[in-house]
Structure 1
Amino acid sequence: MAEIAVLLVVRKIGLAVAAETLKYARPLLAKKPEYIEALPNEMRLIRNELELVHAFLKGTGRRGWKGEVIETWRRQVRRLAYDMEDMVDQFIYMVGKQNQKGSWWDHVKKNIMKPNSLFSLDEIAKEVKRINQELKQLSESRDRWAKPLDYGTDIPVAIYETEQEMYRQSLIESLYFQERSLRIIAVWGMGGIGKSTLVTNVYKNEACSFDCRAWVSISQSYKLEDIWRKMLRDLLGKDKKEFDPETMNSIELREGLTKILDKKRYMIILDDVWTAEVLFKIREVLIDNSLGSRVIITTRIEEEASIAEDGCKIKVEPLNDQDAWILFCRKAFPKVRNHICPPELIQCGIDIMEKCDGLPLALVAVGSLLSLKTKSVKEWKLFNNQIIWELHNNENLNHVEKVLNLSYKYLPDYLKNCFLYCAMFPEDDLIHRKRLIRLWIAEGFIEQKGACSLEDIAEGYLGELVQRSMLQVVERNSFGRIRCLQMHDLVRELAIFLSKNESFCTIYDDTKQVVHVGSHPRRVSVLCCSDIGSNMDPSRLRTFIAFNTSTALSSWYSFIFSESKYLAVLGLSGLPIETVPNSVGELFNLRFLSLNETDVRELPRSITKLHNLQTLSLQCTQFLNFSRGFSKLKKLRYLAAWRLEDATHSIFNCCEAMEPFKGLWNLKELHTLEGFKASAVFVAKLGNLSQLRTLKICDIRSGHCAQLCDSLSKMHQLSRLLIRAVRDDELLQLDNLKRIWKCQIVQLEQFI
């Protein structure tokens, strides 16, 4: 959605006009024409206007307002937001360069040419003024043309016949548990998984065992008074002699509910709960009358399900392949005896079923639609190839899209970019937590909160996406932390569709089709593509990641370094690359550079100009050593570099570590340091890196141990230490580490 682009630039403007930034900007702006001196104020005005625009966009998105005028207006806003983001990045870069006066910059600035692609301060000021004027015009045009209609968000509940006996039995047992006190039962899982259908069946069959009952669907924009009124109306049923819910105010509704619930055994369903806040408010009227009353909530969010006791939380999982196939065939072949799929359609049917990935809602809708189509391989293959288009455009499937999109619509703004970013990874790919978090940080998606590190905040965001069933955990480490994740296939396809609408990214994939997104994509993900040189305009590119090692190198490789002046993320792992162009030093905005598993032997000296670089990964390369000046990269948070000498890992020293470069120990923002050799100086200085969380160090000698233990004692954030002796028979005395870390959990390993 356009609001996430707006929110990102609002945050960046906040950094640009912060007191600390402007302190260094004043000399740059002094004695300049008036319109240049007014640059910070112009940016503040834009930020103020964009904050209002963001609030408006957020409101239209939540209410489901659509229409060509609204969509055109959103596109125009997004374009201006991207323009402004570019200008802010350049302004901050120029201020940062100004801040280097009095140091080495004074001696070398005459010999360093400003990249031709960068704007001058004069051009930035003019461009910001232009953006401000266009933004005002956009706001005025909104009032003239943007008169959206509220289309509502009612979504039909799918009814399917396959009984999920395990869930049903668990739910029924929770209803009739011998405990007579009030019990809250939570049924949770991703959208379309069948929560409401499950509860509906149990409600219809078991409600007669209770004195009174109520079913209330909770919208995101709920009004507590409306919820209580609906609840009271259901509880009264046809008996409305005592109360008239339609005429009662909030206090009367609350009193009426407590009076009824005090003397009766009740069952109340709260369907599709999005926040704990509404649960706590409703809970105020839920009297525990020790009559065995039950409240069932359905939710997509694990955190909201935690209001129930552990024994009363039921997570509904996707159907297994066998049950999914049975449900699909029952809907696709309703008139065929035993619902048997014709042999010639089996493979097509399996391909379509797998895209539904066990979601009953999708299986029922897709199967039912196919029951109306010709039973031919050609027809079914055509449908399979355009299933996502069908979801968006076929009214018989539109409710599936709505159900899945609700989860995205109600994500907090700070999670929306993070969620869409996951769609850039290949289908069924294992997304590793650490890599994803580093990419999010490089993109600027993670906002500093108090004293917490960006990594900890990002990990919290990841947990929220898992709790909301937007990502699925595949593996956890020995500490119970997420190691890798996956996206549900349909959720990923819909995320790609949303990315296309928002010009968030372009995904190239020859195995399916090329997804084109506008003329100026912000991010490019290459999954499998023979050549993208003629299809891509790199001028506004922020991210380029190649996932497939067979991607052909063509003209794009050179011009991405020379033309992509705003590039923040560059992932080239696995590509047949031997050299990195000297023009890499002109990528002033670069924060993430990955060259793992390439044939790169050296990096150009210009790379030391990348003062914003946070991640540099050179694992399993032919890289030999670091040139002088790497200690200038003060913002590095992740640095990994080693050569793989033996791919079979059959010898002790199968990995060749790097010699530490001078000043490495002064990179005090480092969180991860991997693949460096120990030396007396390096081991002694290692204690300066007090923010380290992961350390892999090689060639440890027995003489290093005492100093190493002393340096490690200063690393209070360290959670993982991997060490390798210089030889397999070298005796390392590291007993002091147990004493040092007796109050700290640290994973200590020997690695080869």
Structure 2
Amino acid sequence: MVDAITGYIVGKIGNYLIEEASMLMGIKDELEELKTELMCIQGYLKDVEDLEIEDEASKVWKKLVLDIAYDVEDVLDRSNVKAIERSQRQGLVRLTNKIGRQMDAYRIIDDVRILKRRIIDVTRKRETYGIGNFNEPRGGNTTKLKVRQLRRARSVDQEERVVGLADDAKILLAKLLNDDGDNMRYMISIFGMGGLGKTALARKLYNSSAVKRRFEYRAWTYVSQEYKTRDMLMRVIISLGAAPAEEIEKIRMYGEEELEVYLYGLLEGKKYLVVIDDIWEREAWESLKRALPENHKGSRVIITTRIRAVAEGVDGRVYAHKLRFLTFKESWNLFQRKAFRDIEQVDQELQKTGELMIRKCSGLPLAIVVLAGLFWRKRPGELTDMCASLWRRLKEDSIHVYTVFDLSFVELPHELKLCFLYLTVFPEDYEIDVEKLIRLLVAEGFIQEEGEMMIEDMARYCIEELIDRSLVEAVRLERGTVMSCRIHDLLRDVAIKKSKRAQLCKHSQ
């Protein structure tokens, strides 16, 4: 991760050299040397990451490098702020700008020289204490090679984790559409451990053409461990799409009780379906149900939860459906769809390796698709190295989501690491608008232009690449373009730990 931060700072120095070339005077050479030193350290850090060197001395050394990188960023940011202040001055004060620029340049030179001495010192520490001595061959790492095909036709399969759950979907669809003369509101709860595909199954039902025909009013909201009833009510109202835009802006000012009354009025006398995703406690449902009319129109509510007691006790009229783990055949089918989608004929040795790994995933869909993301676009030789790395990480005879995620994360180019960790600033289970995310990534400076590609296109490429690697889920598509996405809460939890360790950003709950 430190190599990603260092690469980001190196890019920032390069931009600064271009933008401030006219005032740099004696500082240009100093900054170029600093940039070169950081580039060398970044390359070394990538090798350390690839060999998974995680002894205590290496951790301390990486922390020293990280501190220097952030201090470099602070120096550049202070200089930019002063340049903006000078450009806004008027009248006689502007005559002092030349002197001010020279003084600022001298201060930056002093700061940069101090930073260079710190880099020399941290390099000496590495050599003195033998940090990251390589005991393995250091061949070229071709797995870092990126395929820049931004404008290629993309077919994101939103239902890939529903493989093997056809019977579950059939049973639940029948429950949703059942019209036995009893038209009271009825609840369906889908429960099971994290990563089994509860949300994916609920979304498949929600988007079913039969469900769309039966329920004119449909809404989706998420709950998670930390929730606010007012926010949930607002999400349901917006998701229904029944309120005009100008009215939405007005009701954003409503309190919780006013929103309850408004939502009740929207749904009264209507046949509706509301999905409440990722409930952790019964109180979350209790806080919502007052706003959902218990009418005689055959309305339905679906909840997803990891907790059996919540699934079975959330309401008197409830069908609780426990999700199972996938069989080996189902697991292999899911894996092939992702890992070998571009391969017409799979090599026998490759298939054997894949089958061995799939058995260790114990039928957990999330672990399978993340593992498949690692296989995708790899040649047999690269897969051999990757498998050896994965076996070294196993503490028992099974592959956990966290193990596969760690390996997936190490393999990401530095800009993808930054983009992925940035997603953790959004709340758990939050549906992220891709256009908004692109603007945020560009504003943060995480994306660098490459060739003739626009910076916004680069940002979109990074997001879609994370989707291709199964680290991010595409939620809503329009004409093949991803409009919104989300990060699974299990992957988000691991990413938050990495982000905090890198002091990258503050996180929402």
- Give the structure with the larger strand fraction: 1
What's the TM-score once normalised by structure 1's chain length? 0.35
- Give the structure with the larger helix fraction: 2
What's the TM-score once normalised by structure 2's chain length? 0.50
Structure showing greater relative contact order (alpha-carbon pairs closer than 8 Å, 6 or more residues apart): 2
